[in-house]
Amino acid sequence: MNTPAHLLLGAAVMARRGPRLLIWLAFLGAFAPDASLYVMAGVALFVLRIAPEVVFNELYFSDAWQTVFAIDNSVFVWFALLLLAWWRGAAWGIAFTGAALLHLLFDFPLHHDDGRPHFWPVSSWVFESPISYWDVQRGAVWIAPLEVLLSLVSAISLWRLNPGWLLTTVIGALVVLQLMVARVWLFIF
């Protein structure tokens, strides 16, 4: 799934009840499994000025980058953190880690040749799904509209919580970003 969809879904599921802070923490948790990619790709592209083809065709698949992805996309790591948050009775920790786990749950079946080793440190196996959220040759034509629909339902669910003007604006911006990203995947790739 695209990052805006992860954020909207994670917040809608993990922050249904509770203070507005839980929505922000669910946003952060839903973003956490992708954070390293944004940081490493951002530095490579904009600071080191490495060509996008090198970043996404070589560095992305390098052992160093895949090791980082294995850690921040590990179901075992996030589940252990969720159990710790639950044991401590920390609603903020449950919202954060639950949204991260939800991110992994939706990523697992939607990555064809760009998946992550979700079962690290037990295994470095990467599931190669027949479906891809971005590759039109692998079903993105069908996945993208479903992802947009899920994003819209999540946004409406969040708006119904009356989260205030700032969160309402952020939720609206995420919907717009999701629509833009879906358009790019379908019409460019």
What is the predicted pLDDT for the residue at 140?
A: 86
Query: Could you tell me which of 174, 183, 180 has the C-alpha nearest to residue 12?
Result: 174
User: Is the pTM value of this prediction over 0.85?
Assistant: yes
What is the predicted pLDDT for the residue at 187?
A: 57
Q: What is the mean pLDDT of each run of 10 residues along the chain (189 residues)?
A: 96 89 97 97 97 96 96 97 98 97 96 92 93 88 93 96 94 95 62
116: buried, middle or exposed (CB in 10 Å: 19+, 13-18, 0-12)? buried
Helices (H), the chain: 3-14, 20-42, 52-54, 63-72, 75-88, 91-107, 140-159, 165-187
